[in-house]
Amino acid sequence: MALNVGVIGAGALGTAIAQTMSENVDELLLHVRKQDLCDDINNTGYNTQYYPNNKLNENIKATTDINDLKKCDIIFLAIPSSAFRETLKNLKEVLEEETIIVTTAKGIEYPSLKSMGDLISEYFDENYVALSGPNFASEIMLNQPTITNIASRKAENSQKVKEVLSTKQFKVKIIDDIKGIELCGVLKNINAIANGICEGMNINENARYSILTRGFKDTIEIIESFGGNSDTAHEYCGFGDLIMTSTSSESRNHTLGILYGQRLVIDEAASGIVFEGKNSIRAVRDICENNNIDSEIVNFVYDVIIERIAPIKAFNKLWENIE
Ligand SMILES: NC(=O)C1=CN([C@@H]2O[C@H](COP(=O)(O)OP(=O)(O)OC[C@H]3O[C@@H](n4cnc5c(N)ncnc54)[C@H](O)[C@@H]3O)[C@@H](O)[C@H]2O)C=CC1
Ligand SMILES: O=C(CO)COP(=O)(O)O
């Protein structure tokens, strides 16, 4: 394929989608922050930090120089949402205005309440595409069957991104709801934490799945209030990702919830693990307040994680109010 494609972020997801797309392009540029990891990838063919047992395809070339991305038609940002603004500022110095930027991050900026797409359009007009779905990176890396959704403001951009991403195993479905797709990714993380807290406390399954049902309903309400389409909640990026991450021990957000539910507090910053949901709680709570939405699930997660209220006390309040 003639398109030049780059990925920024050689972490779990960036490496996995680079591997997938390298099937479709002549050369895939993978931007890495650290020189030693960049050298490892180029010299050994392994991302020794994230996937020491999976050989990368030979046409993946790592670089630490952002100027190398100048020639890219499409750039995927596979970095945490907290790193978006700084990265976009740097990219603005080197990229052409028409470069398509794809966001994979499931986070939101606080206190601006801007989505990653909103941030991209601050620097690069409307040329962005959002990607989200039930997509554990470890499975994508193993070339296991996966579907994702993408959405954008320009149909031709979605089409180009679909072309570079699609393989026999990795399917891409275009939807027409840029607001909804991004919110689904953010809200499923809050639900994953909520269900993790309940699991950590050993709350019974009848209650846990009722809470998940309520979380799905709240997701729809929040999406609609933010100008999204409720149908998006029924997509892979909605229902699929919500259920997957709320119930799977592979999810970092779900695991974080379990730890809080067990009252085991870890040093999250020192762990270096990306817990997007934790960083989104205040933003989602503000979105609810601004739109007069009273989400018991959002309040529950806020009470336990931010206010540090005892999980059982927070759960009793949730259960009293849930209908
Ligand atoms: N891991 C997964 O299964 C999936 C992750 N995502 C989303 O993708 C995003 C990235 O997640 P992961 O790849 O899992 O995280 P990760 O922690 O595995 O990788 C993050 C990458 O970003 C780089 N990075 C961190 N701070 C940076 C900064 N300030 N400037 C430039 N680069 C920086 C790191 O060096 C690392 O290469 C998150 O928003 C996550 O929610 C979405 C779908 C699946
Ligand atoms: O978004 C994901 C899979 O779709 C990954 O979820 P976690 O960030 O909770 O691990």
33 and 98, same domain (yes or no): yes
Q: Look up the CATH number of the domain holding residue 157.
A: 3.40.50.720
- Residue 203 sits in the same domain as residue 298: yes
Instruction: Identify which of 322, 254, 257, 253 has the alpha carbon closest to the alpha carbon of residue 294.
Output: 322
How many Å lie between the centroid of ligand 1 and the Cα of residue 104? Answer: 9
Residue type, 206: N
Q: Identify whether residues 123 and 34 lie together within a single domain.
A: yes
Tokens at 146, concatenated? 């996966």
> Domain check: are 35 and 71 in the same one?
yes
Return phi, psi of residue 55, to 5°. Answer: -70, 135
From the annotation, which residues make up the binding site for substrate?
A: 106, 252-253
Q: Which of 223-243 are b and which e, b meaning 16 or more Cβ less than 10 Å from the residue's Cβ?
A: bbebebbeebbebbbbbbbbb
Do residue 298 and residue 207 come from a single domain? yes
Query: Do 48 and 165 lie in a common domain?
Result: yes
Report the chain's mean pLDDT, rounded to a whole number: 97
188 is catalytic: yes
Point out the least confidently predicted range of 138-147, 161-170, 265-274, 279-288.
Answer: 265-274
Residue 130 sits in the same domain as residue 19: yes
Q: Which atom of ligand 1 is nearest to the CA of 83?
A: 29
Q: Would you say how long the chain is, in residues?
A: 323
Q: How many domains is the chain built from?
A: 2
Q: What is the pLDDT of residues 44-85, one digit of tens each?
A: 999 999 999 999 999 999 999 999 999 999 999 999 999 999
If asked whether residues 143 and 260 sit together in one domain, one would say: no
What's residue 122's pLDDT? 95
C-alpha triplet 64, 70, 74: angle, nearest 5°: 100
Domain boundary among 174, 209, 241: 174
Pocket of ligand 2 (CB under 6 A): 106, 134-136, 192, 241, 245, 251-253, 276
218 and 315 assigned to the same domain = yes
Which pLDDT does position 226 carry in this prediction? 87
Domain boundary among 136, 151, 174: 174
Tens of pLDDT, residue by residue over 185-208, are 999 999 999 999 999 999 999 999
Mark whether 37 and 120 lie in a shared domain.
Answer: yes
The domain boundary residue, chosen from 174, 200, 231: 174
Average pLDDT in the 172-195 region? 98
Query: pLDDT value at position 125?
Result: 86
In a shared domain, residues 191 and 276: yes
> Which residues have any ligand 1 atom within 6 Å of their CB?
9-14, 33, 78-81, 83, 86-87, 104-107, 135-137, 274, 276
Q: How far is the CA of 13 from the centre of ligand 1 (A)?
A: 6
Identify the CATH number of the domain in which residue 206 sits: 1.10.1040.10
- Interface pTM, i.e. ipTM: 0.98
Catalytic hit among 114, 160, 179, 188: 188
Query: Domain range spanning residue 215?
Result: 179-321
Residues 57, 167, single domain; the answer is yes
Share of the chain above pLDDT 70, in %: 100
Q: List pLDDT tens digits, range 246-257.
A: 999 999 999 999
> Is 1 a residue whose pLDDT tops 80?
no
